[in-house]
């Protein structure tokens, strides 16, 4: 269930549910579970904070009980150099773990 919401894919659900994401691009698929993505966030605080873009390597791991782990960290990628109008953001290693709850 969570897989479709968290899975990093072009045209996926991330842009629909996350108001902090303006655009999401899949740059490279390394394996079924590992990909490199670019995420674009909007400006904030009435334009005081510029739009940002982030390039991350992302691991999405599904488990037999329906749990899903999503982990990511910053990476440089040859196909996505810094672009005009965006501040290149840097994500430290991060992640979340989603567990299905009965009912």
Q: Which tens digits make up the pLDDT trace of 24-39?
A: 899 999 999 999 999 9
Q: Percentage helix, strand, coil, to 5, in the chain?
A: 10, 40, 50
As a whole number of angstroms, the distance between CA 71 and CA 23 comes to: 19
pLDDT, mean over the chain: 88
For 40-58, give the secondary structure using H, E and C: EECCECCCCECCEEEEEEE
Pairing of strands 52-62, 34-41: antiparallel
Would you state the pLDDT for residue 1? Answer: 47
Q: What is the pTM of this model?
A: 0.83
State which fold the 2-98 domain adopts. Answer: Alpha-D-Glucose-1,6-Bisphosphate; Chain A, domain 4 (3.30.530)
């Amino acid at each position: 269930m969570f897989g479709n919401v968290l899975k990093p894919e072009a045209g996926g659900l991330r842009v629909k549910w996350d108001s902090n994401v303006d655009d999401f691009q899949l740059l490279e698929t390394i394996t079924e579970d590992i990909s490199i993505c670019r995420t674009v966030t909007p400006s904030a605080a009435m334009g005081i904070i510029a739009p940002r873009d982030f390039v991350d390597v992302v691991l999405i791991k599904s488990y037999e009980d329906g749990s899903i782990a999503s982990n990511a960290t910053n990476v440089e990628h040859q196909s996505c150099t810094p672009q005009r109008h965006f501040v290149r953001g840097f994500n430290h290693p991060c992640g979340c773990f989603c567990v299905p709850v009965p009912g």
